[in-house]
Structure 1
Amino acid sequence: MDIAGWILVIVLFAVGMAGAIFPILPGVLAIYAAFFVYGFFISFAPFGWVFWTLQTLILAALIIADYAVNAWGVKRYGGSRESVVGSTVGVIIGPFVIPGVGLILGPFLGAMLGELLARSDLNKSLKVGFGSVVGLFTSTVVKIVLQAVMIILFVIWVV
């Protein structure tokens, strides 16, 4: 059972880290689930309230930051509410509609179209689209760092 547990934990960690880059994957939730898999297959004994509090705070911060940082990127470049919505929709459907580059083009085009719907000119719309890509990359870096911290904390608690 220990080997199966460790395999599942490692797979969930890998899916979680991949989810920082590919929004279709569960990301931070996969990493959080790995802690429960470890507990059910091996033991919950190493985890106390401090571990669960830290991990849950990081989980909440990541979920909030995922949307807030993207919106910040759009807003920082003068985007409207419509461009924030367009960017979010673009992040979700971009990789499916435009495989390969949809992860970057989706939020860009979504924010740009949203800004055009808000009756902005083409230059401002392009600027806002660029802001959505800045927000996406910033959000990705934040997710990678915080998810790595979650895994490191797990290793510290288990070892």
Structure 2
Amino acid sequence: MTDSLLWLLSIALILVGLAGIVLPALPGTILVLAGIVLGAWIDDFTRVGWFAVAAVTVLAVIAWAMDYVAAMLGAKRAGASRQAIIGAAIGTVAGIFMGIVGVLFMPLVGAAAGEYLARRDQNKAVRVGIATWLGLMAGMLAKFVLAFMMIGIFGVALLV
């Protein structure tokens, strides 16, 4: 495989990874990391060295962990039940099939439905749904920031 095709694959992995930050079916930051490691490997880690790859890997691990922590913190802060957390997960998966609006809002619907089924309290269900959704959105924003930091480290290492 030629270097040009490998570079195209590297760029494609990074771009699909950025889409994966929003689409839960794709492991976003892992794909960004894979594209960056492939880019570093293409020239035997001469321009993008091991230090840059290690820094990018640490950011990817932080982003991966943040995905889970942010949603859980939002849900726990509102006193979510186990059913609300399961509902948010189901809503997230269902949202994949509904386009961007589904991806963004089905976790809220799932968490609220799960909480309502657990406690039969409509007000609490709405609060839990919103808190879980805010946690997911905060996690998504943080993952975008970390992914662009990863790309920035890669770009600087590549060009300097």
**TM-score normalised according to structure 2 size:** 0.88
The offset of 1:92, in angstroms, is 2.1
Length, aligned pairs only:
158
Which secondary structure state, in structure 1, belongs to the residue aligned with residue 22 of structure 2?
coil
- TM-superposed CA distance for 1:50, in Å, is 2.1
CA deviations over 1:101-158 (Å, ceiling 9, x no partner): 2113320121112212322401100111111221121111101100000000011111
Give the match for residue 147 of structure 1.
147
Question: Cα distance 1:36–1:52, how it changes in 2: closer, same or farther (>3 A)?
Answer: closer
Identity %: 34
Alignment root-mean-square deviation, CA = 1.8
Paired position in structure 2 for 1:75: 76
Confirm or deny: 8 A CA contact 1:70 1:136 kept in the other structure: yes
Offset at 1:83? 1.2
Q: 1:133 is matched with which residue?
A: 133
Unaligned regions of 5+ residues in structure 1, if any?
A: none
**Mapping for residues 1-159 of structure 1, pairs under 5 Å:** 1-96=2-97, 98-159=98-159
Give the aligned residue type for 1:28.
Answer: T
User: In structure 1, what is the Cα distance between the partners aligned to 2:55 and 2:39?
Assistant: 17
* Cα offset, 1:9, TM superposition: 1.6
Cα deviation, residue 76, structure 1: 2.1
CA contact (8 A) 1:95 1:101 kept: no
Shift in Å, 1:40: 4.1
Moved over 6 A (4+): none
